[in-house]
Chain A
Amino acid sequence: MPEKSCKFTACWLVIIIFAAMAMVHGQEWEEIKDWEWELAPPVEYPDAAAVKIFDIGKTHISMWEGVTLERHVRIKVFDKDRAEELISIEIPRLKDERIHHLEAHTITPDGERHKVESEFKKQIGSQEVTAFTFPAVVNGSILEYKYKYEHFRLWMLDPWYFQSDLYTLKSRYIVELAGGFTYSIACNNMPRDKQQPVAEDDGYFGEDYMIFTWELDNLMPIEVEPKSSAILNSYASLYMQLSGFGGEEILADWSEYGELYQKTFEDFMDNEDDIREKAFNISANAETRIDTIAAIYEFVRDSIVTDYKLGKNDRDAQEILEKKSASAYDKNMMLAAFLQSLDYNAHPLLIATRDHAKFNPEMIQFLQFNHLICHVSIDSSECILDTRDRSTAFPYSPPDDLIYGGVLIDGENSRAISFKPRPRESGKTIETKMYLADDGSAVCSTCVCVRGHNIHEFEDYLEDSIKESQIVANIIDGMEMEYEIVEDSIYLDKTGDSLSVEFVLEIPELSDFLGDNMLVPIDAAEVSDNPFKSERRMLPIDFKFPYRAECRLEVYPPENMKVTELPAHVDKSIDGLSFTRRAMYDGTKVIIKSELNVKRAYFQPPDYEDIKWVFDAMEESSYDQIALAPAGEKQ
């Protein structure tokens, strides 16, 4: 062939190859449809700064390749100034695992594509985070990114969260499962009709695969809301756990997990004789079996400093006894070790704390746990014990441990158990006598008493070294006025399951004056705190425990002034919650009694409107005042 023709052909070949590559590239990214360009914020979330048009994850599982997640996300931006946090992306990975084929770009409304050129690696402990941000973002832009994540954690796949902090039009999760593998699935917060996947057979490169697809549409974003718990359970999500391979069951139930964990516990208890001797010495003066448990519990709680509240700290029993400090996790292992050494029916119990997640016994995964406590059976009752907080009296649990189940570690007898938290009368009482002077100043004598679980708010006051004046300052922290604590007036008392603090304050400018008329505030800050400001609510409301907050205020007016107006009665009550306030004048003093009664801990989102109504009324009424006028004044 003549040279010129060769060159001509070569050029055409090059052009064709490049065109083909461009086509393939364009196909990989999937064309953006007209409706996506025209997309506006959804009706149910009109203020969205951005939405996920789709979020597609495909997990490929095979023996030789391990686990590969391919992810593709497309986002539409409506307001770039409000979307900044939402459009800076971070992808975490564990050490020795791989993220690759990361590509991302912005497509502006004029159709121009702007590639993400730079990605950054951040590090947090053993986790690495790949971070990047999108270039050239203007209102109406579409952002896209995709990547592959590879690891060999066949036994424990990362959960797929259909919901996120962005409104999501479509979230699709596909699992390509090679033959021989069996996974158990746990669905969280998914509609029933979406929990069963669409399944199909497939095969390539000589391997049989099953393909499972789940899809959810139009998902609201999850935002942090006050008085909520178990946030993870609020996300529509999917968990997968390896339960079999090649026909053999693998870790099919909790007993097999428990056996693995039992080994950890046995290593922890390495020198059982020493532990037994120590336990014996600690409880030498105990008269009954319950007293013995209480003595050991209190020893571990008070004599071993809590190093970290949650998480294992990799110390064994011997080291803990020497160093006298440990994580809460290890302290509870220590408690179980002491009790077991004395032949009590005590075991470590794996739990998800109340703020973390709700334990799902069907989901055989350790991922759901974030803490370990101690379970003791004695006679026909059981104790759930956690030594992390000094304010938790025996045999109660801290508020975050008010849960209903966990996994008992007992070798091959390890199992999921359920139980009810021990009821505990909880509440707060504030009694104040207020003596007014005609210059607007006042002397207030107050007693604050907390009991039950409410003692946790006052944890600090159990420290011997904290100054009493500091305690009082903390209690009246929210008060927006000058005050002075009367010297030597503070009295602190801890008896049984209650704690009380008495003190006297001088407040130079308590009352307001409108002309000669005095207006006296009556706000009991402890009772009137209203966390429910938002008009809408996504997550359940969790007060953690039922309690009653009561306030009794006696106001003694100055001799030369008379009461002309009392705050109105308030009565707001719904199923499970009420607020009442009564005001009366007996000729000498004004008496105001308020009570917030939270009768149950947990409410569903549809109850929110009513809850807000009660708390709004409580907050509004806190601004009411007592009106006084000069006694001799003609009205």
Chain B
Amino acid sequence: MKESKLLSLCLTTLLIAFAFNAELVLGGSDDDAVFLERNVNCEIKGSNEAETEYYEKIEVLNRDGDYLALKIIWESSLLELKDFSARLYDANGELVKELEKDDGKKLCGFGSYEVYADYCYNIFAFSRDIYPYTVEYSYKTKRKTLFQWPDWRPQSYVPVRHAKYTLTTDDDFVFDYKSSDMVPPPDTISSDGKKIYTWELNDVPELEEGDYASFIEFGGIAIQFAPAEYKLGGYKFDGSSWNKLSQGNYIMVHECFELSDKQEKFMGKIVAESETEKEICRNLHRRLSELSRYVAIHTGIGGWQPHKSRDTFERGYGDCKDLSSLYVSMLRFAGLDAKYVLLSTRDAGITDPDFPSLARFNHAILFAVADGDTLWIDPTRNDCDIGELPWQDENTYALVVDPMSGCLLRTDSSTAEENLIVRKTELWPQKNRSVDVKMEYYLTGNPRDLFSGGIAAFSEINRHNILTNNIFELCDKFLVDSLDFPKVEIDQPVQKLKLYGRIRSAVHRIGKKQILDLTFLDYESKKKHYIDPETYKQPLEYLFPKKLVDTVIVHLPDGKTVVEMPDTTRIEDSIGVYKICCQVSDSIVLLTREVGNYQYRIMPEGFSEYFDHRDKIKGIDELYLKLGNR
């Protein structure tokens, strides 16, 4: 019944998005709220449990700060909410309302993307429309594993006046921590067999938001924790090195690799049909893409342990762990060296190779050594061929899960030449100042995957809408009359796309001359909110290296000739490229351009080079042709 699904999905998505993503959307403007206090008191009990007390006091100044009056606390089989209380005060400090644990609304089983997840959200909310008001939250949780020991991240998109983290452990408890530069070392005291660490900050700077801001919370102020050892669902993990963590994970995962008779028969057929190891990989991926789909069901430690390969095969669905272990087990049966791999996708976080921790990994993929080559495979993407990774998996640290030689390595990167947007455009300026346009796109690499993966889920109507409104940031004023794009199969490396449309009022009359405005061809909008080089400290995110190779043919109207056209320009450096060349022949103008970026992201230490590049491009004239009479 869709009604319930709509209700619950809307409620869940709204609340979660409200609580978690609202912080990423808002901010960067005048204060909507202020954290007066943001304190955490964590006590490690023994070697595998933690009790944590949280206290937050927030002054909400206007409607945009209301989201901070909402508190969502997770519970699962490994995390228990023990106590909760909250208070709402008016502007005069008078108590208006109190909430206890039972006053919360509980949603259980609803994941953010899972069909089912065995955790619950406890939702506590104050609603008030007279500002300012103050809310106070105090609650306690009990964690039955030190796996995913939460970081301390006191920053927010609103100011934080005072933040404190207190950690109490037994004297002999061993752990590691990593704090960012702005965090001072802790005060440490020993007392009665306990060690107490305290980190304290005043006037914590707000997180900054920008147009090209990295969508991960980069750097900033944080402390990450990693226990020397921990247990998860009966499995032990040694956190002293990546190799040890890999071993622990292998023990948890390899039990799932056993195949059924049906699987063995299936794999036997594939091997028989294939002449090389690469073909085995390719044929397996194609067959399993037809037979399986991505569905996440998390129960027990199911968030971390795959379901058995035989069950995933039988069900025909699974999440990234399930599908990766399915592939690994079947390729191994075929005699290939296949490895299960964990990673943190590019949009989720940056792994520190010097800080072993499984906690930040959010995805599983695999690689196989086939015919001497290492082939990466993301089995959750049946639009990506073997050896190709979606951009989120590229160029990032990944942990190879192996009983002996587990280690951290980097996944394959792609280059701008591999991520091409080749575009052929023909323009026919009209007497009514509009321009008729025919465009053909040929997408390879990540642009192809982004396109086919992104639109695959949408109906025809919505695809049209998406392409009409946001064709790789082409231009809003491009009016699409029709478009055509065949669905590509895995083995087709190029996505073709044809568009027919027009640009209204692109020809401007200046006396007897006409100016044909070609700025609608710009791949990147000129009027972006450029980051302030003085204050911006987060990485600039390009997603992946890519290049637009643009060929534009302008069919000049009768009696018209070109009197002014763009100068040939070539800018190329380590950041990217901008080339343009224009030629006229009879009634045709041929404009060729290359616009691209060579980096995945620019870290703050590379900003000066980026700004040089950006300033050179800004200095180039806008794209146009001046036409006059013959």
Of all chain B residues, the one with the shortest Cβ separation from A224 is: B6
B105 within 8 A of A: yes
B451 at the binding interface (Cβ < 8 Å): no
Interface: B4 (CB within 8 A)? yes
- Is the beta-carbon distance between B509 and A564 smaller than 8 angstroms? yes
Task: List chain B residues, Cβ under 8 A from A82.
Answer: 456-459
A512 contacts B4, C-beta separation under 8 Å: no
Chain A residues within 8 Å of B468, by CB = 533
- Contact digits for A319-352, partner B, Cβ 8 Å, 1 yes 0 no: 0000111000000000000000000000000000
A122 to B129, CA, bound (A): 32
Is the CB–CB distance between A466 and B109 below 8 Å?
no
User: Closest CB of chain B to A131's CB: distance in Å?
Assistant: 6
Answer whether residue B469 sits at the interface, using C-beta atoms and an 8 A cutoff: yes
- Asked if residues B504 and A623 are in contact (CB atoms below 8 Å), the reply is yes
In the assembled complex, A454 has its CB within 8 A of some CB on chain B:
no
Q: Which of A146-174 contact B (CB under 8 A)?
A: 161, 164-165
How far apart are A571's CB and chain B's nearest CB, in angstroms?
A: 15
Report the separation of the CA atoms of residues A624 and B507 in the bound assembly, to the nearest whole angstrom: 10
Which of the residues B30, B459, B517, B525 comes within 8 Å of A470, measured between beta carbons?
A: B30
Q: Tell me the nearest residue of chain A to B468, going by C-beta.
A: A533
Q: Tell me which of B57-65, B278-286, B404-412 binds A.
A: B57-65
Q: Mark B237-281, 1 if CB is under 8 A from A, else 0.
A: 000000000000000000000000000000000000000000000
CB distance from A432 to the nearest CB of B (A): 18
Q: Say yes or no: A90-B1 contact (C-beta < 8 A), given A308-B127, A517-B508, A623-B476.
A: yes
CB distance from A479 to the nearest CB of B (A): 9
Q: Is the CB of B108 within 8 A of A123?
A: yes
Q: Which of A195-203, A287-295, A355-363, A457-465 contacts B (4 or more CB under 8 A)?
A: A457-465
Q: How far is the CB of A399 from chain B (nearest CB, A)?
A: 17
Q: Which of A133-141, A251-259, A265-273 lies at the interface?
A: A133-141
Task: Give the chain B neighbours of A43 by CB distance below 8 A.
Answer: none
CA of A161 to CA of B63, assembled, Å? 38
Among B78-86, B191-199, B618-626, which stretch is in contact with chain A? B618-626
Binary CB contact string for chain A from 32 to 50 against chain B (1 if under 8 A, 0 otherwise): 0000000000000011010
Q: Is A403 an interface residue (CB 8 A)?
A: no
Q: Does B45 interact with chain A (Cβ within 8 Å)?
A: no
Interface presence of A558 (CB below 8 A) = no
* Contact A635–B511 (Cβ < 8 Å): yes
Q: How far is the CA of A89 from the CA of B132 in the complex (A)?
A: 44
**A131 with B62: CB separation less than 8 A:** no
Given contacts A90-B4, A122-B8, A517-B510, contact A466 B476 (CB under 8 A): no
- Interface pair A624/B127, CB less than 8 Å apart: no
The reply on B131 being an interface residue by CB < 8 A is yes
Is the Cβ of A136 less than 8 Å from the Cβ of B513?
no
Min C-beta distance of B451 to chain A, whole Å: 14
Residues B3 and A92 in contact, CB atoms below 8 Å apart: yes
A447 to B110, CA, bound (A): 46
In the bound assembly, the distance between CA atoms of A39 and B497 in angstroms comes to 29
Q: How many chain-B residues does the 8 Å CB contact rule pick out?
A: 79
Question: CA of A398 to CA of B130 in the docked complex: distance in angstroms?
Answer: 19
B30 touches A514 (CB 8 A): no
Q: Does B314 interact with chain A (Cβ within 8 Å)?
A: yes
Task: State whether A517 and B293 are in contact (beta carbons under 8 Å apart), knowing that A90-B4, A324-B96, A535-B461 are contacts in the complex.
Answer: no
Determine the distance from Cα of A161 to Cα of B96 in the docked complex, in whole angstroms.
Answer: 43
| Minimum C-beta distance from A592 to chain B (A) | 14
Q: Pick the contact of A135 from B8, B107, B314, B622 — CB < 8 Å? A: B314
- B509 A627 Cβ-Cβ under 8 A: yes
B435 at the interface (CB under 8 A from A): no
**Count of chain A residues with Cβ under 8 Å from any Cβ of B?**
80
Q: Would you call B505 and A568 a contact (CB within 8 A)?
A: yes
CB neighbours of A467 from chain B (8 A): 30, 62
- Taking a contact as CB atoms under 8 Å apart, the answer to whether A133 and B115 are in contact is yes
Which residue of chain B lies nearest to A303 when distances are taken between CB atoms in the complex?
A: B130
Residue pair A120, B115 in contact (C-beta under 8 Å): yes
A512: contacting residue among B116, B460, B509, B622, CB under 8 A: B622
Q: A90-B1, A623-B476 are in contact. Are A124 and B11 (CB under 8 A)?
A: yes
Closest to A48 in B: B459
Kindly provide the distance from the CB of A269 to the nearest chain B CB, expressed in whole angstroms: 23
* Contact call B291/A136, Cβ cutoff below 8 A: yes
Most buried by B among A46, A480, A514, A568: A514
| Chain B 482-525 residues near chain A, CB threshold 8 A | 504-505, 508-513, 515, 517, 519, 525
Residue in A closest to B479 when the chains form the complex, CB atoms = A620
A567–B432 CA distance with the chains assembled, in angstroms = 12
A129 to B108 alpha-carbon distance, docked (Å): 10
Nearest CB in chain B: distance from A238 CB, A: 15
Cα-based distance from A117 to B3 in the complex (angstroms): 24
Q: Which residues of the partner chain A approach B477 to less than 8 Å between Cβ atoms?
A: 620, 623
Minimum CB–CB distance for B340 against chain A, Å = 23
Q: Do A627 and B508 have beta carbons less than 8 Å apart?
A: yes
B97 touching A325, Cβ below 8 Å: yes
CB of B297 within 8 A of CB of A515, answer no
Contact of A305 among B108, B129, B316 (CB under 8 A): B129
CB of B415, distance to nearest CB on chain A (Å): 29
| B316-A513 in contact (CB<8A) | no
Given A80-B293, A463-B62, A465-B61: A509 and B527 within 8 A (CB)? yes
Contacts of A565 in B (CB 8 A): 508-510
User: What separation, in Å, do the CA atoms of A609 and B517 have in the docked complex?
Assistant: 30
A473 to B32, CA, bound (A): 13
Residues A465 and B29 in contact in the complex (CB < 8 Å), given A565-B508, A623-B505: no
The answer to whether A464 and B131 have CB atoms under 8 Å apart is yes
Residue of A nearest to B125 (CB): A308
Residues of B within 8 A of A514 (CB): 508, 515, 517, 519, 621-622, 624, 626
Q: Are A135 and B317 in contact (CB under 8 A)?
A: yes
Residue of A nearest to B460 (CB): A47
C-alpha spacing A161/B3, complex, angstroms: 10
CA distance A323 to B508 in the complex (A): 64
Contact with B along A615-635 (1 / 0, CB 8 A): 000001101110101000011
A122-B116 contact given A91-B4, A627-B509, CB 8 Å threshold: yes
List the B side residues contacting A459 at CB < 8 Å: 63
B290 within 8 A of A: yes
B564, CB-defined interface residue at 8 Å: yes
Quote the shortest CB–CB distance from A239 to chain B (angstroms): 14
A298 at the interface (CB under 8 A from B): no
B295, B510, B527: the one contacting A627 at CB < 8 Å is B510
- Which parts of B380-395 form the interface with A (CB within 8 Å)? 382
- Inside 8 A of B2's CB, which chain A residues have their CB? 164-165
Near A by CB (< 8 A), chain B positions 91-127 give: 96-97, 105-110, 115-116, 120, 127
**13 A-B pairs (CB sep. < 8 Å):** A123-B108, A125-B106, A138-B290, A165-B2, A325-B97, A464-B131, A466-B63, A480-B528, A533-B465, A568-B505, A621-B504, A625-B508, A627-B508
Residues of B that sit less than 8 Å from A by CB: 1-5, 7-8, 11, 29-30, 32, 61-64, 96-97, 105-110, 115-116, 120, 127-132, 290-291, 293-295, 297, 314-317, 382, 433, 456-461, 464-465, 468-469, 476-477, 479, 504-505, 508-513, 515, 517, 519, 525-530, 564, 621-622, 624, 626
Extra inter-chain contacts (4) besides given A122-B116, A123-B120, A519-B517, CB under 8 Å: A133-B297, A138-B291, A466-B62, A623-B476
**Leading 10 A-B pairs by shortest Cβ distance:** A635-B511, A122-B109, A92-B4, A120-B116, A465-B131, A47-B460, A623-B477, A514-B624, A136-B316, A135-B315
